[in-house]
Amino acid sequence: MLDLTRYKAIVFDMDGTLIDSMGAHVKAWQQTCEYFGYEFDPEYMHSLGGVPTAQIAVLLNNKFALTHDPEVVAAKKRECWTALADDPSVIQQTCEVLDFYQGKLKMGIGTGSERKHALELLAKTGLDQKISTLVTASDVTNGKPHPETFLRVAELLGATPSECVVFEDTEIGRQAAEAANMDCILVKNGIIQANTNP
């Protein structure tokens, strides 16, 4: 088990870090891109994990010189996601860390998902019973890679940024942790990258 005892709090990303839902997100984005005429690049879409849905629409508009309403695009993506009826599972290695440090360190989730979606996923996987502190895209002005999400989690947990370690699965999430002055441990394809722990 990773020795995290020098920290006061753990901040987990959700999609792709605690819950194996990124595949379904990318599939929903594929359908959304086809609908609106964006060129679909699965690697690029996966790299945007943690970025709020409407902000991804802005990035796609800029990338492909289109002018779709970001809120309309976001609504379509939510519709595609719901239609997939994905049955999410937890990511074992990360959840083992969560279980091991339960009651020993403070824990919270900082996600780029909207609150309604996050609550649904956490309830489906039972993680809502383990972590009560949740900051979503609905709760902040600036999504990742801006540090606001992680800073808000730290504030709610009563920890300073330097007392927190973040678990993340994307480069954008790592940038957000770095901008928040928090150490970051990457999770790639469900495997904790121990060498990223400072």
| Active-site residue, 99 included | no
Q: Provide the token pair at 87.
A: 């049955």
Q: Is the sign of the CA dihedral 122, 128, 130, 131 positive or negative?
A: positive
What pairs with residue 108 in β-bridges? 11, 133
Amino acid at 43: E
- For residue 32, which of 72, 88, 87, 66 has the smallest C-alpha distance? 72
Q: What CA dihedral angle connects 151, 155, 157 and 163, to 10 degrees?
A: 60
- For residue 88, which of 186, 197, 14 has the smallest C-alpha distance? 14
The catalytic residue among 3, 13, 69, 128 is 13
SS3 45: helix
Judge contact between 39 and 5, C-beta under 8 A. Answer: no
Active site (catalytic) residues: 13
